[in-house]
Amino acid sequence: MYLYDFYREYFLPVSLSRVQKSTRQVYEQVVTFWVNEVGNLDIQKISPLGTQQFVDIALTKAGPVNPSVGKPESEAPEKLTDDEFREMVNSLVQMKIMNSKMNTPGINAVQFVADFVAKKQWKPTLIMLYAMLAMIAWKYLTVPIQLQQMVFEAFGQNPVTAFLLGSHKMIGGFFLFGIIPMLIVKLILREKLAEYGLRLGIVRRLLVNTLIFLPFVFMIGMLTGRDAAFWNVYPYNPVVSDAPMLFFCHTLTYLGYYFGWEFFFRGWMQHGLRDSFGIYNAILVQTMASAVLHFGHPMSETLGAIAGGLLWGFLVLRCRSLWAGLIQHSVLGITLDWFILQNRSTG
């Protein structure tokens, strides 16, 4: 029986009538004695005694108490309510547990690895480990000059090859954030992609929430496109222009990129970590991770990434689907690039 289980089962429900007239110091000494000494006692022998007898033992062995004990009620310190008493017990127990954890001998490397990949732990470990590696790989993804030369020699130096090489961020995001995690879900975790948000979900909510926020994200993209601070960041593809066909191809690559992005953060991380972290903490984790990838961009965008992560994480719960956030995020990014190209050419 664990220490906290013993406290919860045998000590917390005890009637406080036995110590009703004791002062705050008596409470503190009784609880402190129990927290400090119960680990050294045989719980199997103590628990059959019942809670009241155990409190008697604690009172007896707690040692000298505050001199005010036994004084008239008017002179005694303030009494504790039941809630105050429980709160004090809980804080002392948690302090004891924390101290015991800090004082335990360090584990060796083999045990650390074994615990790290334990069966109950390996799914969130896999998700977080791959997320870390994929984010680093995408953040520093470039096309080496040597590779560019090889592509140009093989396929010729033309607008098509230049466009494809310039789309490496979008193509890399599609595979690193979308295809590879999806394969891990299906082949390693043996789970359904629908559980990670790839489904229509609640269609009515999906349509309503998509349409409600679309005008706002369009307006944000249009206004942000006027800010020169963003002109050196976007578009990711340096060869794209506002020529209709070229921008249409750019839009297609962007849709694949945002599909990977939304699946990675709102699906792979948020849905994958909810059982281990709790859904609200999972939303915070994916929001933090997506915000980190905006470091180096204008501060307004990084702060906006936090708002977007929370909003689209909520919409996944609300709609039971990734599609609302995916559509809105795609419209935001495509609108931003279009207006950047427009303003850059006229400014």
Instruction: Look at residue 121 in the predicted model and tell me its pLDDT.
Output: 75
**Distance separating alpha carbons of residues 44 and 46, to the nearest angstrom:** 6
Is 208 a member of any domain?
A: yes
**Distance separating alpha carbons of residues 216 and 81, to the nearest angstrom:** 51
The pTM of the full predicted model, rounded to 2 decimals, is 0.70
Q: In the structure encoding, which two tokens stand for residue 53, read together?
A: 């007898």
**Distance separating alpha carbons of residues 161 and 151, to the nearest angstrom:** 7
Is 324 a member of any domain?
A: yes
Per residue in 311-340, pLDDT tens? 999 999 999 999 999 999 999 999 999 999
Number of domains in the chain: 2
- Are 221 and 84 in the same domain? no
**Distance separating alpha carbons of residues 236 and 161, to the nearest angstrom:** 16
Is 113 a member of any domain?
A: no
Q: Of 71, 103, 135, which marks where a domain is finished? A: 103
Q: Are 24 and 67 in contact (CB under 8 A)?
A: no
- Are 336 and 307 in the same domain? yes
Is 116 a member of any domain?
A: no
* 114 half-sphere exposure, CB direction, 13 A CA radius: 5
- Are 323 and 206 in the same domain? yes
- Are 174 and 275 in the same domain? yes
- Are 247 and 339 in the same domain? yes
Instruction: Look at residue 60 in the predicted model and tell me its pLDDT.
Output: 53
Per residue in 110-145, pLDDT tens? 766 776 666 667 899 999 999 999 999 999 999 999
Q: Of 38, 69, 103, which marks where a domain is finished? A: 103
Q: Which of 90, 37, 43, 25 is nearest to 61 (CA)?
A: 37
- Are 332 and 218 in the same domain? yes
- Classify residue 2 by burial, with Cβ atoms within 10 Å: 0-12, 13-18, 19+: exposed
- Are 99 and 126 in the same domain? no
Instruction: Look at residue 344 in the predicted model and tell me its pLDDT.
Output: 87
* 19 half-sphere exposure, CB direction, 13 A CA radius: 29
Instruction: Look at residue 4 in the predicted model and tell me its pLDDT.
Output: 43
- Are 163 and 246 in the same domain? yes
- Are 74 and 140 in the same domain? no
In the predicted model, residues of the chain with pLDDT beneath 50 are 1-25, 39-55, 62-80
Is 37 a member of any domain?
A: yes
- Are 96 and 129 in the same domain? no
- Are 83 and 145 in the same domain? no
Is 87 a member of any domain?
A: yes
Is 112 a member of any domain?
A: no
Is 179 a member of any domain?
A: yes
- Are 201 and 130 in the same domain? yes
Instruction: Look at residue 3 in the predicted model and tell me its pLDDT.
Output: 45
Q: Of 103, 134, 159, which marks where a domain is finished? A: 103
Which domain covers residue 340, as residue numbers?
122-346
Instruction: Look at residue 346 in the predicted model and tell me its pLDDT.
Output: 80
